[in-house]
Structure 1
Amino acid sequence: MRSALFDLDGTLLDTAPDFYRIICELAELYQQPTPLYQEIRQVASNGGRAMLTQAFGDQFSRNEESWLNEFLNRYRESPVKDGTLFEGFKEALEWLETQQIPWGVVTNKPRSMTDKVLEQLGLTERCSVSICPDEVKLAKPDPEGILLAIDKISASTAQTLYFGDHVRDIEAGRRAGVKTVACSFGYLAEGEDTASWSADFTLEKSADLKTFLIQHFDQQGSADV
């Protein structure tokens, strides 16, 4: 069976605006300079600790646990206010569903946060499978999560595409034996080149996802890989 699996932050969802909103709240709370949005966006795929380090530098290192806990608590309370699907993904997911091609999420985001984000964006019932670190022994770049997702939806590794915006996503997909798609529209560090990741494909614009899927999945139930 064909399937399409996605990383969450920076691939399926543009969640950086919500991360930035909370960073700005912390800047005001702790009387720190407000960082630029792009500074936070480019490290968003690396998690809260990386974003706080980027935003506040040495001040964060001196108050690491308390500031990180405040960030996480605020994010849990309000994970989706400004974030949304990337441009073009609404149409692409609808196309997958009309073709009866299951799609899912394999993320390093904890289950409690993943469920809340998917629910608030109305994706819970549409998503055929979601795998978080809670369900595996090793998170990405280990392939366990991708392989578990494929098993749960009875898909084939040879007919699965995995999309990600970080080198660990591509490594996980490659080790799982699926075709990998580097999403260069995601949360890449300044100057980072997805060509060095050795992905099977590169998707430069999120708006092109539907066209990409149509080109690589035919109508008879096989994958052009």
Structure 2
Amino acid sequence: MIRIKNDQMMKFSAVLLDLDGTLLDSLPDLAQAVNGMRADLGLPALDTGRIGTYIGKGAAVLVQRSLSDAPGQSHQEAMARFRHHYQDCNGRHAKPYPGAMEGLSRLRDMGLKLAVVTNKPAQFTQPLLERTGIAPFVDASVSGDTCAHAKPHPEPLLHACRLLGATPAQAVMIGDSVNDAQAARAAGMRMLAVPYGYNEGHDVRSLEVDAIVASILDAAEWLAAH
């Protein structure tokens, strides 16, 4: 059981968490949708690891990057095919990372409000949270199309803070990518990074963060100590 001093409880009241690459390894589902889209368009499948480097800035950018070898392809048609396939497989193979569910439970036990802030389209966010068992832990979710701007713009994080009744100074962002780090800094909040996510293929140690934590459970320990 984590013990927290009263002043520490006052310091942080909210935790914002990225979804893909932070709470969930959703690459198998995303890769299946991307390659289903490519098959429909008469294109060969891409390596799953390569697709992983395309994740981070939302579905539209994922599709665009996945069609770098087909510059004449209609983006609108490709998006429609991607959404069709992802609607079918969303949450089928995605799994929480080690320590994610335990970490969410600890954070809740600490009395913190939790929100998921993702660049994933809203039509996919809630079903994924429910299918993977994360939904009961979170008080709010902000998707890539909830606000006028997505991460790395700070607006989604600031919106999440408003939903949770917290100021940016009372909130901590936990993510795996430069999008999360830039959004957190622009919003004026602390940032913790996990090392196992996607980060568009770049080393997480290059990010401007307050700490790198091995898991969401370790993030809870960091919060308890700060």
Q: TM-score, normalised by structure 2?
A: 0.83
Structure 2 residue corresponding to 1:99, chosen from 96, 110, 128: 110
Name the structure 2 match of 1:216: 223
In the alignment, the residues of structure 2 paired with residue 30 and residue 178 of structure 1 have an alpha-carbon distance, to the nearest angstrom, of 43
Say whether 1:166 aligns with 2:177.
yes
Question: Is the partner of 1:125 in helix, strand or coil?
Answer: helix
Structure 1, unmatched stretches of 5+, are 219-223
Question: Is the partner of 2:116 in helix, strand or coil?
Answer: strand
1:202 CA drift (Å): 1.8
RMSD: 2.3
1:130 CA drift (Å): 1.0
Question: Is the partner of 1:130 in helix, strand or coil?
Answer: strand
Question: Is the partner of 1:162 in helix, strand or coil?
Answer: strand
Structure 2 residue corresponding to 1:193, chosen from 203, 208, 212: 203
Name the structure 1 match of 2:125: 114
Distance 1:25 1:148, change over 3 A: closer
Question: Is the partner of 2:172 in helix, strand or coil?
Answer: strand
Distance 1:134 1:49, change over 3 A: closer
2:56–2:119 Cα contact (<8 Å) kept: no
Post-superposition CA distance 1:24-54 (Å, at most 9, x none): 3334444432221100112122333444455
Distance 1:116 1:212, change over 3 A: closer
Question: Is the partner of 1:44 in helix, strand or coil?
Answer: coil
Structure 2, unmatched stretches of 5+, are 1-11
Question: Is the partner of 2:193 in helix, strand or coil?
Answer: strand
1:83 CA drift (Å): 0.5
Say whether 1:73 aligns with 2:80.
no
2:117–2:142 Cα contact (<8 Å) kept: yes
In the alignment, the residues of structure 2 paired with residue 68 and residue 104 of structure 1 have an alpha-carbon distance, to the nearest angstrom, of 27
Name the structure 2 match of 1:19: 30
Distance 1:22 1:46, change over 3 A: same
1:89 CA drift (Å): 0.1
1:184 CA drift (Å): 2.7
1:53–1:61 Cα contact (<8 Å) kept: no
Give the counterpart letter for 2:217 in structure 1.
K
In the alignment, the residues of structure 2 paired with residue 106 and residue 62 of structure 1 have an alpha-carbon distance, to the nearest angstrom, of 30
Distance 1:211 1:147, change over 3 A: same
1:27–1:33 Cα contact (<8 Å) kept: yes
1:180 CA drift (Å): 0.7
1:123 CA drift (Å): 2.5
Say whether 1:182 aligns with 2:182.
no
2:57–2:151 Cα contact (<8 Å) kept: no
Give the fraction of aligned pairs with identical amino acids, expressed as a percent: 27
In the alignment, the residues of structure 2 paired with residue 53 and residue 133 of structure 1 have an alpha-carbon distance, to the nearest angstrom, of 16
In the alignment, the residues of structure 1 paired with residue 72 and residue 177 of structure 2 have an alpha-carbon distance, to the nearest angstrom, of 25
Give the counterpart letter for 1:83 in structure 2.
A
1:136–1:144 Cα contact (<8 Å) kept: yes
Q: What aligned pairs does 1:31-110 form with structure 2 within 5 A after superposition?
A: 31-59=42-70, 61-110=72-121
